[in-house]
Amino acid sequence: MQPEPLEVEIYDDAEVPGLARVVGLFAKAPDATLLDVLAEAFGATPFSVTEQTQRTFTALTTLPGEAAAKALAEAIEAMEPPPYGVGAFEIEDDSGLWEVGSYFLDQPDAGMLDALGTAHGAKPFAISELPEIDWVAKVRRELAPVEAGRFFVFGSHDADRAADLGSDRVALQIEATVAFGTGHHGTTLGCLRAFDRLFSAGFAPVKVADIGCGTAVLAMAAAAVLPDALVLASDIDQVAVDVARANVAINGLDGRIECMEAAGFAHPRLAEAAPFDLVFANILKGPLIELAPPMAAHLALGGLCILSGLLVVQAEAVTAAYVAAGFDPAGREDIGEWSTLVMRRL
């Protein structure tokens, strides 16, 4: 996957016999949606992604032979303080050498590393501290605005560009946060494009729901161009709901969007407001398929739902589930490896 992890480790779960843990170390923030897709595909629990703010040290060496390299890696794993990750990789230059790399959250014992290296026939370790980088600030600076039809999604660092937009454009300020949906991902971009096309064609829903709203960028897009519409946004994660409310306030949409914590449509306010004319659901394949019957129950006849969070190879399965629930395909766009579907309630 991109960005590539620095290290991936698999080890037995000490607390739950029979389970294994998979840990990846990334220098840049990984694609959380792709991680969730992979977890779902392999029957794993959702990934927990955290930012490591501690000091990080690397220790690298080379030595001949796979067996010796793996033996050295195992010896390093038993060190105190323990490494965060250890890996042994063949150097692809026909030299027969292997590289053993390890990552520590505390200063490693250089003497112990040298002793282990000598015992296994390795060259002296090169130990270095990785520079401290505020990755959130760095990512925010490097994120370019996203343009999806009339919608211009930007971070605060591009506020001057947003101020220069014409009156026919809709600017939405979204920062890179722990909630999903800055507009840069192919799924969010696909949903914005789909809605922009529908609105340009005269579609003006009166009731809109954003299920699994994340940052609420889709709900805000609807509220911005539909001043008289009722717009509800829900997410299963309270952190996302808090982020959504903050974004609604930043964009001057207080009182226009109701944000709530809910799993799918399981909230009294959503039940009360139904049926909806438009529903966004930018989640994952499994939850999308499970949502098909409730979607049919909460969407008005002739209403539309915009679905994403699924890979191109998963689009047919999701489409089939919605056709079986009483929907007709009304549009599709593939952006890279991600697909966005538009389905009409029959």
Residues with Cβ within 8 Å of 225's Cβ and at least 6 positions away in sequence, in order, are 150, 170, 199
Q: What's the token pair of residue 292?
A: 């098909």
Q: Cα-flanking dihedrals φ and ψ of residue 54, to 5°? A: -75, 170
Give the orientation angle of helix 217-225 with respect to helix 186-200, to 10 degrees. 20
E strands, the chain, in order: 7-12, 20-25, 57-64, 85-90, 97-104, 126-129, 146-148, 151-154, 170-173, 207-211, 230-235, 257-261, 276-282, 299-311, 327-335, 338-345
Q: Cα-flanking dihedrals φ and ψ of residue 180, to 5°? A: -85, 140
Burial 238-255 (b: 16+ CB within 10 A, else e): eebbbbbbbbbeebebee
Q: How many CB atoms lie within 10 A of CB 175?
A: 19
The one-letter amino acid code at 43 reads G
Alpha-carbon distance 67 to 1, whole Å? 28
Is 212 known as a binding-site position?
Answer: yes
> Comparing C-alpha atoms, which of 42, 181, 58, 68 is closest to residue 108?
58
Is 188 known as a binding-site position?
Answer: yes
Alpha-carbon distance 124 to 320, whole Å? 59
> Residue ranges for the binding site for S-adenosyl-L-methionine?
188, 212, 235, 282
> Residue ranges for the binding site?
188, 212, 235, 282
